[in-house]
Amino acid sequence: MKIVQVQTQAEAGGAQHVSDMLGAGLRARGHDVRTVFMYRKTDAYDGDAHVDFVLDRRPSGPLDLLRAIFGLQTYMRRAKPDAVISFQHYGNIFGTIAARLSGARHIIANQSAAPGKFGGPLVALADRVFGQLGVYQHSVVNSAWTEEQFADYPPAYRRRVSRIDHGVEVGASRLDRQGARAAFGLPIDAYVVVSTGRLTAEKNQRVLIEALVDVPAAHLALAGVGPEHDALVNLADSRGVAERVHFLGEVSRHRIADVLAAGDVFAFASRTETFGLSVAEAALAGLPVVANDLPVLHEVLGEAAIYVDADAPGQMAAAIKALISDPPRAAHLAAQGHALGDKYSPEVMCRAYEALLSA
């Protein structure tokens, strides 16, 4: 089967990693799979043999947006896919339109959250219409929490909702802890708190920096880029912890395992999640986790984390100090994280998507 995956922007994010795993898994099962991004945001996918871009930069206005939309349609018409799997709110809408116009027989929209709550009113309306009328045949949700966000949607929409939990995949790092720390310029002998994700207000890395004030033994390594970078640098400086905060920049997917290998604990203060792929990766990699007390993170991580109010830096700091002073507890959390591997198998995820495509 010829399959095209549609993503909105090319960057090293969670949704993109899911489509990477899905594409690789479906190719291994004999399918021809390519991923097309509506625009290139970073260089994370430059040189990827299975990737195409409609625009080589982020749209700067309405004209650029129209170029991306119509360029996607042109791409799809030339590709003539049998199936289209779309991701993210705008990818779902514009990818589905392009898929229908190109004659694709199978269309799946991957729902990271209910569009009415996170994607804006126009996207929400389009999604409801598409789902209710079967413009895309299936909506895939990635957790029980996400599925619950659609509970008040019309029955015709909900009949097309299928739950397929994300696969979680972290390759083994070839570096030991000292080697990983040296690779990223981190102190060899310090206690290192790591966190991965875009530097945004929603991801709430400010709390991690504030917590560091009360944990003088620790350093913080942040892997990611985003609009909050300068504000976080300034915060670290104003709080007197700048020498203990390390900004690693955007880290490619194949080096995430190296970042995790450098850490003693993974801290995750995000205010809103629909699954929490990055923190699940850390747990599977064997890092004890301190996470925001969100229902979806309880669902995904279970007993592999200490849960705190992530808007309370004191709670975050206390949890990190508890793990520093209690290695057996940290080891117990790490073991619980390792045990999640079977639950979030990429192979299981790929089989479930293939079954939908064959329906």
Span 17-30, pLDDT tens digits = 999 999 999 999 99
Per-residue pLDDT tens over the stretch 132-163: 999 999 999 999 999 998 999 999 999 999 99
pLDDT confidence of residue 127: 93
Nearest-angstrom CA–CA distance, 2 and 137: 17
For residue 119, pLDDT beyond 70: no
Nearest residue to 111 (alpha-carbon basis) of 17, 36, 253, 15: 15
Please check whether residue 131 is in contact with residue 100, taking contact to mean a CB–CB distance below 8 angstroms.
no
> Architecture of 2-167+344-358 per CATH?
3-Layer(aba) Sandwich (3.40)
Q: Would you say residue 170 has pLDDT above 80?
A: no
Residue 289: strand, helix, or coil: strand
Task: Please report which residue ranges of the chain form alpha helices under DSSP H.
Answer: 14-28, 62-79, 89-102, 115-118, 121-133, 144-148, 155-158, 177-183, 205-212, 229-238, 256-261, 277-284, 295-301, 313-325, 327-338, 346-358
pLDDT in tens, 50-65: 999 999 999 999 999 9
Q: Give per-residue pLDDT as tens, 58-113.
A: 999 999 999 999 999 999 999 999 999 999 989 999 999 999 999 999 999 999 77
CB 16 within 8 A of CB 88: no
What's the rounded mean pLDDT across residues 227-251?
97
**What is the DSSP code string of 105-128?**
SEEEEEESS-HHHHT-HHHHHHHH
Averaged pLDDT, 213-218 = 96
- Give the pLDDT score at 252: 86
Amino acid of residue 141 = V
**Strand order across the 245-249 sheet:** 245-249, 218-223, 191-196, 265-268, 289-292, 305-308
Mean pLDDT of 45-51: 95
| Cβ-contact 193, 218 below 8 angstroms | yes
| Numbered ranges of CATH 3.40.50.2000 in the chain | 2-167+344-358, 177-341
pLDDT digits (tens, 9 = 90+) for 270-311: 998 989 999 999 999 999 999 999 999 999 999 999 999 999
CATH entry, 177-341, from 3.40.50.2000, 3.40.50.720, 3.40.50.1110, 3.30.460.10? 3.40.50.2000
Give residue 121's pLDDT band: very low, low, confident or very high (50, 70, 90).
confident
Intra-chain end-to-end CA distance of the chain, in Å: 13
At 7 the pLDDT is 97
Residue 352 has pLDDT above 80, yes or no: yes
The distance from CA 8 to its chain's CA centroid, rounded to whole angstroms, is: 14
| Whole-angstrom distance, CA of residue 118 vs CA of residue 124 | 9
| Model confidence band, residue 330 (pLDDT cutoffs 50, 70, 90) | very high
pLDDT of 116 over the 70 cut: no
